[in-house]
Amino acid sequence: MAPTKDVSVQQENKSVGIIGMGDMGKMYARRIAKAGWRVNACDRADKFESMKQEFANTENIKIFANGHLVSRLSDYIIYCVEAELIDDVVAVYGPSTKLGAIVGGQTSCKAPEIAAFEKHLPKDVEIVSCHSLHGPNVDPSGQPLVLIKHRSSDASFQLVERILACFGSKFVYLNAEEHDQITADTQAVTHAAFLSMGTAWAAGDQFPWEVTKWNSGIENIKINITLRIYSNKWHVYAGLAILNPAAQRQIRQYACSVTELFKLILEGKRDEFETRVRAAGNFVFGKQKDELLLRDEILDQFSLSGVPKSERKPNSHLSLLGMVDCWWKCNIVPYDHMICSTPLFRLRLGATEYLFRQPDLLDDCIRFALDDDSFRSDDLEFTFAARGWSDAVSFGDFNSYRKRFEKPQEYFAPRFAEATKLGNEMIKTILGRMKILEDSREAAKT
Ligand SMILES: NC(=O)C1=CN([C@@H]2O[C@H](COP(=O)(O)OP(=O)(O)OC[C@H]3O[C@@H](n4cnc5c(N)ncnc54)[C@H](OP(=O)(O)O)[C@@H]3O)[C@@H](O)[C@H]2O)C=CC1
Ligand SMILES: O=C(O)C(=O)Cc1ccc(O)cc1
């Protein structure tokens, strides 16, 4: 029989440690173990027995009582804990790291993670960090996986590459600072926009799929993504926004863009509003010639409502106008950030592109924003919400972020099961199509 990949991996006689066996840690452990590497893993001590049971029959995974035991044994140790806890957890287990091992982390913001490693790890330990730019239930193949060679030899870095190759992801090589700059946009502002939509709908006591005016192709994206975010754990979003200074700046600009555009609407300053929206659009989309990322017939498959197309109305789309204005004011061309794109970022870019690159739609939207007041109160709620999220992030208070998150979460909870199912299908279909487009663009370049 031909030697399998598993055999060559075992021959390296290296083991991987995972500290923090939540959603991402388990996903990492399972995939790395399946590729044949020995995995030593732990979560908090009080979960030791239940974890042991859960992984009793999983080949190559051994559960330990704590991170000291994992650290002492493993050659590449990955911290998969909450971002806000990284300093505390590395302070405890870091000094137990095996002599000459490599350490990395999976948290979504790298400045505090690298600072914790530099502070608490012994000097002989190398540092190679990583970040999978997708959630635990998304197929990692073809998705970006950032690798950060912070303090390591080439040989150690190549070992990490061989270990993480089992995801089939696209490696993206960045330093920690570049990572945080780009993900501030691709992740933190993306979440801020959809979190604000959810807060506004909940504050206005609207299940958007039950209200006719929220029914059109891109509304389906807004609703499905918003519900997808609220059905998740608050700490993931809090960590990557609060701990990343670039994210705080960009989220503040998003709130400011939304507020300024809304004031122009209220004051009826048509020319100023239109000039600003078009200038932002030209900056972001002016050079784009490729086919649109999103198409009606695909978007329409993913409605939570079933309202016929003929009954749909235009929308002022303040949330999308604000995104493009924010990119313009931050001097960001989002297409340059595709290397660190998450599925949600691609959908956000697809939705704004859909509006700005179809001249009739943008004309309708500008006219509607100024002449029709049926979205005014929704836009008011949205503006409050965007500023509230920006404040929550700037104040840096995890607890108030959590409270802010949990209110809409409770409001939308009854629809999570259905929305997640539809959202997963939507993401699969739309991203499948986007990938074909992106591949053909790449092929055209070469
Ligand atoms: N979920 C996602 O979509 C993604 C998340 N990430 C990042 O990955 C990291 C993990 O996220 P995720 O898996 O979703 O979060 P989870 O909350 O599911 O997992 C974190 C786990 O670490 C455990 N933990 C906390 N302290 C310790 C400790 N001292 N020793 C051992 N285990 C500990 C937590 O226990 P307890 O719950 O009791 O605190 C929890 O089980 C985060 O930093 C997140 O930002 C990155 C990409 C995607
Ligand atoms: O795609 C998104 O934006 C998600 O919400 C999932 C996610 C969350 C945190 C990460 O660090 C990476 C991906």
Ligand in nearest proximity to the CA of 24: 1
Q: What's the confidence (pLDDT) of residue 223?
A: 84
Q: What's the confidence (pLDDT) of residue 64?
A: 98
* 63 Cβ inside 6 Å of ligand 1: no
Q: What is the pLDDT of residues 352-381, one digit of tens each?
A: 998 999 898 899 899 989 998 888 999 999
* 220 Cβ inside 6 Å of ligand 2: no
Q: What's the confidence (pLDDT) of residue 2?
A: 40
> Do residues 20 and 89 make contact, with C-beta atoms less than 8 angstroms apart?
yes
Distance in Å, CA 396 to ligand 1 centroid: 19
pLDDT > 90? residue 444: no
Q: What is the pLDDT of residues 174-232, one digit of tens each?
A: 999 999 999 999 999 999 999 999 999 999 887 777 665 556 677 878 888 898 899 99
Q: What's the confidence (pLDDT) of residue 3?
A: 39
Pocket mutation for ligand 2, best pick of 148, 235, 342 (most atoms within 8 Å of C-beta): 342
Q: What's the confidence (pLDDT) of residue 296?
A: 73
* 186 Cβ inside 6 Å of ligand 2: no
ipTM of this model?
A: 0.98
pLDDT higher at 296 or 342: 342
* 94 Cβ inside 6 Å of ligand 1: no
pLDDT higher at 2 or 323: 323
What backbone torsions phi and psi does residue 144 show, to the nearest 5 degrees? Answer: -70, 140
Angle between helical axes of 217-230 and 398-412 (0-180°, round to 10): 120
* 19 Cβ inside 6 Å of ligand 1: yes
Structure-token pair, residue 256: 């400011």
Query: First-to-last CA distance in the chain?
Result: 39
Which burial class, exposed, middle or buried, applies to 22 when counting CB atoms under 10 A from its CB (0-12, 13-18, 19+)?
Answer: middle
> Do residues 363 and 395 make contact, with C-beta atoms less than 8 angstroms apart?
no
Ligand in nearest proximity to the CA of 77: 1
Picking from 35, 37, 34, the residue whose alpha carbon sits closest to that of residue 13 is 37
Q: What is the pLDDT of residues 92-118, one digit of tens each?
A: 999 999 999 999 999 999 999 999 999
Q: What's the confidence (pLDDT) of residue 293?
A: 80
Q: Say which range, 75-89, 286-300, 359-373, has the weakest mean pLDDT.
A: 286-300
CA 252, chain centre distance (Å): 18
**Which of the four pLDDT bands, split at 50, 70 and 90, describes residue 308?**
low
Residue 172 pairs with which residues in a beta bridge? 146
pLDDT > 90? residue 443: no
Give 431's contacts (C-beta < 8 A, 6+ positions apart).
Answer: 343, 346, 347
Q: Where are the alpha helices (DSSP H) in 267-317?
A: 270-285, 296-299
% of the chain exceeding 70 in pLDDT? 91
> Do residues 66 and 40 make contact, with C-beta atoms less than 8 angstroms apart?
no
% of the chain exceeding 90 in pLDDT? 71
Coil, helix or strand for 303? coil
* 257 Cβ inside 6 Å of ligand 2: no
Radius of gyration of the chain (CA): 23
* 89 Cβ inside 6 Å of ligand 1: yes
* 240 Cβ inside 6 Å of ligand 2: yes
Q: What's the confidence (pLDDT) of residue 112?
A: 97
* 107 Cβ inside 6 Å of ligand 2: no
Q: What's the confidence (pLDDT) of residue 147?
A: 98
* 133 Cβ inside 6 Å of ligand 2: yes
CA 359, chain centre distance (Å): 29
* 108 Cβ inside 6 Å of ligand 2: yes
Cβ neighbours of 153 (radius 10 Å) = 12
Name the closest-CA residue to atom 28, ligand 1.
44
pLDDT > 90? residue 405: yes
Q: What's the confidence (pLDDT) of residue 1?
A: 36
pTM: 0.91
* 51 Cβ inside 6 Å of ligand 1: no
Pocket mutation for ligand 1, best pick of 31, 42, 47, 80 (most atoms within 8 Å of C-beta): 80
Pocket mutation for ligand 1, best pick of 82, 92, 110, 233 (most atoms within 8 Å of C-beta): 82
Distance in Å, CA 17 to ligand 1 centroid: 14
Distance in Å, CA 109 to ligand 1 centroid: 13
Residue 148 pairs with which residues in a beta bridge? 129
The amino acid at 125: V
pLDDT higher at 423 or 391: 391
Distance in Å, CA 71 to ligand 2 centroid: 27
* 20 Cβ inside 6 Å of ligand 1: yes
Q: What's the confidence (pLDDT) of residue 306?
A: 54
* 135 Cβ inside 6 Å of ligand 2: yes
DSSP run (H or E) holding 179: helix 176-183
Atom of ligand 2 nearest to the CA of 108: 11
User: Mean pLDDT, the chain, as a whole number?
Assistant: 90
Q: What average pLDDT does range 40-59 have in this prediction?
A: 98
DSSP conformation class of 293? S
Q: What's the confidence (pLDDT) of residue 303?
A: 59
* 179 Cβ inside 6 Å of ligand 2: no
pLDDT > 60? residue 7: no
Q: What is the pLDDT of residues 126-165, one digit of tens each?
A: 999 999 999 998 889 999 999 999 999 999 999 999 999 9
Q: What's the confidence (pLDDT) of residue 9?
A: 65
